[in-house]
Amino acid sequence: MKKILFVEDDRNWQMMYREIFAHKARMFHAFTLRQAEIFFAAVQNIDAIVMDGTLEKRHDALGLVVSMRKAGYRGPLIAASAEEDTCELLIAAGCDKSIDGSKSRLGGMLCETLNL
């Protein structure tokens, strides 16, 4: 089963992701940068990471994206911010793809990316 790390502080979006991927993937949900760092270090062979750009403060996830890439993560890293400018910054920091400002597109994009 594929492993997906969702870095998202909004519980409503987290619930939506759970509904979409409940039987398709093993999910790890991080609501803070620290939780994301812990999951990233502890979970082996993550197949995809979904990254919101703002958790505790505006654009605070950019450094996390950079550090994940520097640590050698080469899998799909998807920018999932409702703000298009934040998605652009996440792409510049190391994300591969962007949901282009609409989190509702994430389900289809991730299923296609991971062949789910």
pLDDT of residue 35: 94
pLDDT of residue 29: 92
pLDDT of residue 30: 93
pLDDT of residue 111: 82
Q: What are the sequence ranges of the domains in the chain? A: 2-114
Angle at 80 between CA 74 and CA 83, to 5 degrees: 135
Q: Which CATH number fits domain 2-114: 3.40.50.2300, 3.40.462.40, 3.10.20.30, 2.40.110.10?
A: 3.40.50.2300
For the chain, residues with pLDDT lower than 70 are: 58-59, 100-103
Q: What is the pTM of this model?
A: 0.90
pLDDT of residue 2: 93
Characterize the bridge pairing of strands 25-30 and 77-79.
Answer: unpaired
pLDDT of residue 13: 82
